[in-house]
Chain A
Amino acid sequence: MAGTLRKRSFFGYAFVLPALVILVTFVYFPAFYSLYLSFTDYNVLVPTYHFVGLSNYVSLFHDPIFLRSLMNTAEYTAGVVPTQTLIALGLALLYGSENRVIKVLRGLVFIPTITSSVIVSLIFTWIFSPYGLVNSVLSLFGVKPQNWLLNPYAALPAIMSVAIWGTSAYFMVVFIAGLNSIPGTLYEAAAIDGAKSAWKRFRYVTLPLLKPSLYVVIVLGLIGALQIFDLSYVMTNGGPGYSTYTALLYIYNYAFSYNRMGYASAASFILFAIIFILTLVMRRYLEVRRWS
């Protein structure tokens, strides 16, 4: 018996080894290495580097562009996450049925989700351009054509709407699964208890039982929104005038355009801290312990 147990242990370790090795090498080690780098002035092009203590962090907090990028990321997240959650929920209610036609429509609505963010960015760069679709449609209502992506107040909202367009269907699927997991008997029981209208059913049965899905959608949405890069890089490259400059774009530019890896590591550590703390906070307030 002991022989087979040891043999099983061997298999166990052997099977999990690849994943763990890759994980430690490319996730855990980088996290610590990044912290280490953040205290240096490491530059890939320069052979030597020195410890600079906290000066990277001090510079970051004095850099108006970095602070702007944090603000933009915050604004972006605050706008995108609630909106896409609500829209996803709406889509789930609309496209959740088993009707064949609805299922086809559901499949179509999902297509933006599997499309490359670069392709989406390119298409929407046109859609928001002065001669693009948005202006054409708005001109039907008498609105003057705007240059959305060149307007420092409109550029970020434009990008936010593209993000929501692209990801709402993804979270719709999560909600649909959540909706489907609610036993029909609960609705019958609720009806007996007096909750007869659709709204009452939604409020007292659906919504509470959707909490696990809600948690997933919000946390995933949060983590994804804080890391926004592709859209802001391809559509506006941070412009106009840094109004769509996001945190990850800032990190990317400092690391790979200006080659200041130490400085960029400090910035990425700050972003990491923000994501980490927010995720913990969400977990504390939103996570639902499973009924035992």
Chain B
Amino acid sequence: MEVKLSTLAILMLGALIALPYLIPFYWMVLASFRDAATAQEPLLAPVVQTVENYVVVLNTQGFLRWYFNSLVISILTTLISVTISAISGYAFARLDFPMRDKLFLLLLGTLMIPFPITIVPNFILILKLGWVNTYQGIIVPTLAYVVGVFLMREFFKTIPYEVEEAAVLDGATPWDIFFRIMIPLARPALSAVAIYTFVSAWNNFLWPLIVAQTSDMFTVPVGLNFFKTANGQAIEWNYLMAGTTLSIIPTIVIYAVFQRYFTRGIAFTGVKR
């Protein structure tokens, strides 16, 4: 087997550069198995002193609830988001209706109106709706910043007209065309949007921080931050690292299984201009 020197050099460099990106996580897992006294030592040897940290964290009031909240919010956000992306993307790509392109320009507003300016008015809005400290309060305003629409629109534009025309000749209604033909075809793109949205929703911090008022409505990121400074006393490092390790598991699992969908989504933003 011929291995070029340059290939070997790149491999070694690649492995070296990857280290700083991975060591923090390695240390985090290590610290989660240590006692409070030694958790902060920069030891890199994998020593398992105790599993108790995980027990404490899982028994800590609220932690499982935070997990549950994050799951509910992330799943709902993803489902609604993907649906909206699919139908809007399809409509803007393939359906003809008056002012379609002008309305599409409206969608670009999400790129030009950044999130910070919406936090105060949106909070007042959900306050008046009685949605403070509720799932809908956390989910609904974030649906506006769905960039999946653009991806779906680009995707649907690549589907040849013949597909639709053939379906129309067969007597299909617009509903049929959309649900029976377009959606199945769009599955890879939809998956990309779904995966990306789920992880974004799971990691979202600022808006859930604003909306959630009581510990039982915290999402995992909000909870971890609260965990760190509960009642003005910092939680011990080993528990904190156990908590973060547990919190990172869903994203790592999803990432490992659906890796290519992530890169597909991001790559799309870069190439399509």
Chain A: residues with CB nearer than 8 A to chain B?
Answer: 5, 7-9, 11-13, 15-16, 18-20, 22-31, 33-34, 37, 42, 44, 91, 94-95, 97, 99, 101-102, 105, 107-112, 114-120, 122-124, 126-127, 129, 131-133, 135-136, 165, 169-170, 173-178, 181, 212-213, 215-217, 220, 223, 226-227, 229-230, 233-234, 247-248, 251-252, 255-256, 261, 264-265, 268-269, 271-272, 275-276, 279, 287-288, 290
Q: What B residues does A109 contact at CB under 8 A? A: 17-18, 21
Which residues, 132 to 156 on B, are CB-close (under 8 Å) to A? 140-141, 143-146, 149
Give the contacting residue for A117; candidates B23, B205, B252; CB below 8 A: B205
Q: Assess whether B18 is in contact with A16, with CB atoms less than 8 Å apart.
A: no
B47-55, B57-65, B104-112, B185-193 - interface stretch: B104-112
Give the contacting residue for A216; candidates B143, B262, B270; CB below 8 A: B270
- Given contacts A116-B220, A174-B270, are A132 and B40 in contact (CB under 8 A)? yes
- Given contacts A105-B14, A123-B27, A133-B27, are A118 and B225 in contact (CB under 8 A)? yes
| Chain A CB within 10 Å, residue with most, of B21, B116, B203 | B116
Instruction: State which size class the interface on B falls in.
Output: 35 or more
* Inter-chain pairs besides A99-B11, A275-B114, 10 sampled, C-beta below 8 Å: A9-B96, A15-B88, A16-B91, A31-B113, A37-B121, A102-B11, A116-B203, A123-B241, A256-B210, A261-B123
- Given contacts A16-B92, A118-B224, A268-B117, are A94 and B10 in contact (CB under 8 A)? yes
Q: Assess whether A97 is in contact with B121, with CB atoms less than 8 Å apart.
A: no
Q: B interface, by DSSP: helix, strand, loop or mixed?
A: helix
Q: Assess whether B116 is in contact with A123, with CB atoms less than 8 Å apart.
A: no
- Given contacts A23-B107, A116-B248, are A108 and B144 in contact (CB under 8 A)? no
A-B contact pairs, 26 of them (CB 8 A): A7-B174, A11-B175, A18-B88, A23-B106, A26-B118, A30-B122, A31-B118, A94-B10, A102-B14, A107-B259, A114-B255, A116-B221, A119-B28, A123-B24, A123-B28, A126-B27, A126-B237, A174-B266, A176-B267, A177-B267, A213-B271, A227-B116, A251-B116, A268-B120, A269-B117, A279-B112
Q: Assess whether B84 is in contact with A290, with CB atoms less than 8 Å apart.
A: no
CA distance A235 to B273 in the complex (A): 36
Chain B: residues with CB nearer than 8 A to chain A?
Answer: 7, 10-11, 13-15, 17-18, 20-25, 27-28, 31, 40-42, 84, 87-88, 90-92, 95-98, 100, 103, 106-107, 109-110, 112-125, 127, 140-141, 143-146, 149, 174-175, 199, 202-203, 205-206, 210, 220-222, 224-225, 228, 237, 240-241, 244, 247-248, 251-252, 255, 259, 262-263, 266-271, 273
- B266 → chain A, closest Cβ, in Å? 4
Q: Assess whether A37 is in contact with B118, with CB atoms less than 8 Å apart.
A: no
A-B pair count, CB < 8 Å, reads 281
Q: What A residues does B228 contact at CB under 8 A? A: 122, 234
Q: What B residues does A114 contact at CB under 8 A? A: 199, 203, 251, 255, 262
Closest partner residue, chain B, to A261 (CB atom): B120
- Given contacts A19-B107, A133-B23, are A30 and B125 in contact (CB under 8 A)? yes
- A198 → chain B, closest Cβ, in Å? 10
Q: Assess whether A288 is in contact with B143, with CB atoms less than 8 Å apart.
A: no
Closest partner residue, chain A, to B227 (CB atom): A122
Q: Assess whether B269 is in contact with A115, with CB atoms less than 8 Å apart.
A: no
Q: Assess whether A131 is in contact with B41, with CB atoms less than 8 Å apart.
A: yes
CA distance A107 to B124 in the complex (A): 41
Q: Assess whether B124 is in contact with A44, with CB atoms less than 8 Å apart.
A: yes
- Given contacts A97-B10, A251-B119, are A9 and B270 in contact (CB under 8 A)? no
Give the contacting residue for A173; candidates B17, B174, B263; CB below 8 A: B263
Q: Assess whether A27 is in contact with B113, with CB atoms less than 8 Å apart.
A: yes
Give the contacting residue for A252; candidates B11, B125, B206; CB below 8 A: B206
CA distance A215 to B271 in the complex (A): 11
Give the contacting residue for A12; candidates B13, B27, B97, B145; CB below 8 A: B97
Q: What A residues does B125 contact at CB under 8 A? A: 25-26, 29-30, 33
- B85 → chain A, closest Cβ, in Å? 8
Q: Assess whether B88 is in contact with A16, with CB atoms less than 8 Å apart.
A: yes
